[in-house]
Amino acid sequence: MSAKVRIGIVGYGNLGKGVHKAIQQNPDMELVAVFTRREPETMKSASGEVLFETISRAEVYLDRIDVMILCGGSATDLPEQTPAMASMFSTVDSFDTHAKIPEFYEQVDAAAKSGGHVSVISTGWDPGLFSLNRLLAESILPEGTTNTFWGKGVSQGHSDAIRRVAGVKAGVQYTVPVEAVIDQIRGGETPELSTRDKHLRQCFVVAEEGADQQAIRETIVSMPNYFSDYDTTVEFISEEELARDHSGMPHGGFVIRSGETGDGTRQLVEFSLKLDSNPEFTASVLVAYARSAYRLKQQGQSGARTVFDIPFGLLSPKSPEELRKELL
Amino acid sequence: MSAKVRIGIVGYGNLGKGVHKAIQQNPDMELVAVFTRREPETMKSASGEVLFETISRAEVYLDRIDVMILCGGSATDLPEQTPAMASMFSTVDSFDTHAKIPEFYEQVDAAAKSGGHVSVISTGWDPGLFSLNRLLAESILPEGTTNTFWGKGVSQGHSDAIRRVAGVKAGVQYTVPVEAVIDQIRGGETPELSTRDKHLRQCFVVAEEGADQQAIRETIVSMPNYFSDYDTTVEFISEEELARDHSGMPHGGFVIRSGETGDGTRQLVEFSLKLDSNPEFTASVLVAYARSAYRLKQQGQSGARTVFDIPFGLLSPKSPEELRKELL
């Protein structure tokens, strides 16, 4: 057996902790260190012993880490961290600001090429596995309609938006796909749908004592970008209820393409996820793509890659011969 | 826009006709000729004008065809045709005798390399898209169980087996997944399942006049390999009913992986197809992979490839930039 793929984790929130646990499920990988902006000595491991390092010491690990898995946020962390790390290590990230992906790709590509490394950007499940299925389905069925549904699941961005409303102590927002619409599509119909038609938004809010609940509700449902374009429900609950019923991070969704071949023959392709933990699943995707980054670099490649550029065979620890024999 | 991908079709049964129609949905491709073992002048086009050629004249087209799509059967056609064609053209086929894939791969690989071409073997939906999803799901969720369900759909091999029974005039066999088992898995359970537990076999049989229906039924349900390991139903119908209710070729199925991440968190990945025409859908997959064979050869590659080796980006007529912008 060849040497293990040596992994570093940058950032140790829910996603970084998920990556830590996912590495332990993959015997061909080992975690070398977790890099953090916090004080390393204040950090607590999510699973067994681990070395914490301050992020500025990453370059000390140039020869000791094959792939850095970047677990920061897309708003401010990754635009800075991925290019910086990509010049020193192969990297994987889950950059998900769709509109900025082309620009991000160019920056990371230049950095990765400068260091001779491979950087897989924007992986996870959307962007990531859902993107792959959108591409696959439209390539096979050029005449058709693709729909993506998200949920039922917690949207971190929308939950944050709720919590910024005056009088709100805590809250969580679920994106919920409209079942009737999914059934319509599965039944072979191809309705024209806006995102609003396809999803509801459910908010569970803990109000500050004495806060005006009606005003909070109004502020939420009319919030532009986040809620005003959706059917939004707001339910007020206690802190205890929030902790008891809403502390998980479930998510999931569907990519469905309804297409036609030949003389109007209906064909339906669907990919779906039902996740009890969104960050742990995303982390598992990042780890599989870390394996591919390592192998591409071993092949002598360099530069940025997306899920569209990477054959699935490189995601598995199995050899091409094993894959053909066991899984084809 | 670059030149079109020039396609040849070998074999003009249901699959070959499906490929013909699929090419017409892809403006970056053109059909040059259909090669057949029958008399070319006796052939009828499934869709518009087309040139029929006798298969022995394939080599005349060396410089006029980029990719040959091989639409013969796996039992006797492809083991002979793919290696022969692979030395002259890039090829795509749907070779689906799972146990013989490793050997077939080696033969085709040698032939393709000898001619400097690329041969994509064993594509379609199973082997093909289902294989991809088995590989993806187990790579992301190393701890888990994958189940593949087929149907409801017509199995050509099993229908042929019925028709060989003495006293049977015509017949069709549907493979039917057991819904209760699928629901169990979707609900997060991971039962140990044999293929028998997961599928029923429904046979619709037209008996010869005066044939012993009870004997036919017994012969079918006890047939080894095909039916004896399954719960099999046999229903006798008239020729008119067969033509009216069973002339389509629907199929489909599911690949479901139920896995665990972290400390026992349940994660479910599912890919499903619901096809009104199995051969037309398989044909559409072959055509998308023909595009990838063409591109890989343009990159200077040669040899046999499976779906595991080919990034999805090569299946689409869109550029990498467009894909990142529109579909990621």
> How far is the alpha carbon of A205 from chain B, nearest alpha carbon, in Å?
26
**Domains along chain B?**
5-126+279-322 (3.40.50.720), 129-276 (3.30.360.10)
What is the phi-psi region of residue A8: left when phi exceeds 0, alpha when psi lies from -120 to 50, beta otherwise? Answer: beta
A123 marked ligand binding residue: yes
* Cα A215 from Cα B214, distance rounded (Å): 75
Residue A258's H or E segment, with its range, is: strand A251-261
Per-residue pLDDT, B197:
87
Q: Are B229 and B197 in contact (CB under 8 A)?
A: no
Tokens, residue A127: 């962007």
Which of B133, B267, B312 lies closest to A308 in CB terms? Answer: B312
Tokens, residue A274: 């039902």
ipTM of the complex: 0.95
Q: Which of residues 271-310 of B touch A (CB under 8 A)?
A: 271-277, 280-281, 283-285, 288, 291, 306-310
- A140 in contact with B at a CB cutoff of 8 Å? yes
Side-chain half-sphere of B238: how many Cα atoms within 13 Å? 3
* Cα A281 from Cα A15, distance rounded (Å): 9
* Cα A182 from Cα A175, distance rounded (Å): 15
Helix (H, G, I), strand (E, B) or coil at B267: strand
Q: Tell me the percentage of chain A whose pLDDT exceeds 70.
A: 99
B215 pLDDT higher than 90: yes
Global model pTM greater than 0.90 = yes
Q: Measured between beta carbons, which residues in chain A are less than 8 angstroms from residue B134?
A: 327
- Chain B contact probe: residue of A94, A143, A261 with most B CBs at under 10 A: A261
Query: B4: which DSSP letter?
Result: P
> How far is the alpha carbon of B245 from chain A, nearest alpha carbon, in Å?
16
Cβ-Cβ contacts under 8 Å between A and B: the total is 204
The per-residue pLDDT for range A206-237, each reduced to its tens digit, is: 999 999 999 999 999 999 989 998 999 999 99
Residue B252, amino acid:
G
Please indicate whether, in this complex, the C-beta atoms of A315 and B267 are within 8 angstroms of each other.
no
Q: What is the mean pLDDT of each run of 10 residues along chain A (328 residues)?
A: 88 97 98 97 94 97 98 94 98 94 97 98 97 98 95 90 95 94 87 86 96 96 92 96 93 96 95 96 98 98 98 98 96
pLDDT band at B2 (very low <50, low <70, confident <90, very high): low
> How far is the alpha carbon of B213 from chain A, nearest alpha carbon, in Å?
35
Please indicate whether, in this complex, the C-beta atoms of A280 and B265 are within 8 angstroms of each other.
yes
- A182 in contact with B at a CB cutoff of 8 Å? no
Q: Tell me the percentage of chain B whose pLDDT exceeds 70.
A: 99
Tokens, residue A245: 């019923």
Residue B287's H or E segment, with its range, is: helix B278-298
- Alpha helix locations (H) across A38-166? 77-86, 101-115, 129-140, 156-163
Nearest alpha carbon to residue B99 among B269, B255, B225: B225
Instruction: Enumerate the β-bridge partners of residue A31.
Output: A7
Cis peptide bond upstream of B127, omega within 30: yes
Neighbours of A98 (CB within 10 A): 16
Per-residue pLDDT, B1:
45
Q: Measured between beta carbons, which residues in chain B are less than 8 angstroms from residue A129?
A: 136, 140, 269
Helix (H, G, I), strand (E, B) or coil at B315: helix
Per-residue pLDDT, B216:
97
Q: Measured between beta carbons, which residues in chain B are less than 8 angstroms from residue A280?
A: 261-262, 265, 267
Residue B284, amino acid:
S
Q: What are phi and psi of A296, to 5 degrees?
A: -60, -40
B263 pLDDT higher than 90: no
- Look at chain B and count its residues: 328
Please indicate whether, in this complex, the C-beta atoms of B316 and A22 are within 8 angstroms of each other.
no
- DSSP notation for A13-37: SHHHHHHHHHHTT-TTEEEEEEEES
Q: Are A246 and A156 in contact (CB under 8 A)?
A: no
Q: Are A183 and A135 in contact (CB under 8 A)?
A: no
Nearest alpha carbon to residue B251 among B225, B222, B272: B272
The per-residue pLDDT for range B126-166, each reduced to its tens digit, is: 999 999 999 999 999 999 999 999 999 998 889 999 999 99
